Amino acid sequence: MSKTTKFGFGSALLFSMISLGLVACDSAPKDSGSDTKTTAADDQGTKTGKTGAGKEAPKAIEMVEHDLSSAHEVWKGWVASGPKGAKVLADGVKGARIAAKGPNILDRKKGGDNGFDLAFEPGKNDLKTLKTNLEKGAANPEAKLKLTFVKEEAGMLEWTAEVADTKTYSFVMHMQVDGKDYTCKNNYMVGAGNEAEHQRHLEACKTLKKK
């Protein structure tokens, strides 16, 4: 059963910024050792085509294998999937991140993609503490932001954040690869802009492997 929480003013402001992507500057990838070259269309993570009466419809995003070695030495020989044109970045102390620049905050559309941004790190993140931190601002019932926990399991925390008419999807999950524990998560400071983009991140988690 999902659980919904409203946030106090301070946290509402913070998470409103999160949901709207105003604190997303850290999500725009910088130059790194990715194997692929970047084009304007690939950076955004989407390409469009014409359908029907001249309407633009999103085309399928091409997912390719990315070498994570440039993020940290612990990822030497490791690969995972991300959009063509995405960049591999270091994340935190030993994390690896695959990020494709999303649309500018002013260009985002309701229900549109926010840009691919996925991170891996060795070990297990503390999901209980994460959930507690997300709920800390729940004191003020007049807050306008709504947080809904969609899935709470031993190895998965999945939630949506809603502010005004904007809804984002986020998760942090544990998994095992080659007998070792890893954490995979999207950039919940921005969140996925729709269910399809959310699922794209979840599926990419499963592609982590060592060659």
pLDDT tens for 63-114 read 999 999 999 999 999 999 999 999 999 999 999 999 998 887 777 788 899 9
Residue 158: which of 170, 143, 167 has the closest Cα?
170
Please state the domain extents for the chain.
3-44+61-210
Which tokens sit at 143? 């807050």
Which tokens sit at 7? 């946030």
Q: How far is CA 163 from CA 66, 88, 151, 184, in A?
A: 34, 30, 20, 25
For range 115-126, the mean pLDDT: 97
Q: Output the pLDDT for position 163.
A: 81
**Percentages (nearest 5) of helix, strand, coil residues in the chain:** 20, 35, 40
State the CB neighbour count (10 A cutoff) for residue 61: 20
Q: Output the pLDDT for position 144.
A: 72
Between 31 and 159, name the one with better pLDDT. Answer: 159
Q: Which fold has domain 3-44+61-210?
A: Protein Transport Mog1p; Chain A (3.40.1000)
Residue 45: which of 91, 121, 107, 90 has the closest Cα?
107
Residues 5-44 as b/e (b if ≥16 CB within 10 A, e otherwise) read bbbbeebbbbbbebbbbeebeebebeeeebebebeeebbb
Q: Does an H or E element contain 211, and which?
A: none
pLDDT tens per residue across span 133-151 = 888 865 467 667 789 999 9
Strands (E), 46-199: 48-51, 55-58, 63-67, 78-83, 87-91, 95-99, 117-122, 146-153, 156-163, 166-177, 180-186
In this structure, is the dihedral angle defined by the CA atoms of residues 72, 126, 115 and 65, taken in order, positive or negative?
positive
Q: What percent of the chain has pLDDT over 90?
A: 55
Q: Output the pLDDT for position 3.
A: 53
- Calculate the average pLDDT of the chain: 79
The three-class DSSP label of residue 138 is coil
Cα gap 175→155, rounded to integer Å: 7
Residue 160: which of 136, 199, 193 has the closest Cα?
193
Looking at 49-58, 86-95, 163-172, which range is the least confident one? Answer: 49-58
